Amino acid sequence: MLSFVIRRLGTMALTMLCLTMIVFFLINLQPNLKKLAISQTEMHTSAEQLESWLVNHGYRQNFFVRYGQWLGVLPKQPVTDPATGKPTQRFSFCNDPLEPKFSGVLEGDFGCSTKFKTTVASKLFPALGATGILMLCVLAVMVPISLLIGILAGMREGSRTDRTLSVASIASTATPEYVSGVIFTVIFASWLGWLNGSAASASQGITFYNFTLPVMTLAIYGIGYIARMTRASMVEVMTQQYIRTARLKGLSFGSVVVKHALRNALIAPFTVIMLQFPWLLTGVVIVEVMFRYQGFGYTLVEAAGNNDIDLLLGCSLVSVFIVLITQLISDVGYAFLNPRIRVQ
* Span 162-212, pLDDT tens digits: 888 888 888 888 888 888 888 888 888 888 777 877 777 777 777 778 888
CB crowding 156-177: b at 16 or more within 10 Å, else e: bbeeeebeebbeebeebbebeb
CA distances from 251 to 45, 138, 233, 258, 261 (A): 81, 37, 21, 11, 13
Non-local (6+) Cβ contacts of 235 within 8 A are 154, 157
DSSP 147-191: HHHHHHHHHTTTSHHHHHHHHHHHHHHTS-HHHHHHHHIIIIIII
CB crowding 78-101: b at 16 or more within 10 Å, else e: bbeeeeeeeebbbbeebebbeeee
The length of the chain, given as a count of residues? 344
- The pTM of the full predicted model, rounded to 2 decimals, is 0.80
Name the pLDDT band for 343 (thresholds 50, 70, 90): very low
Q: Closest Cα partner for 17 from 71, 54, 66?
A: 71
Interatomic CA distance for residues 204 and 87, integer angstroms: 41
* Span 254-309, pLDDT tens digits: 677 776 677 777 777 777 777 777 777 766 788 888 888 888 888 888 888 888 88
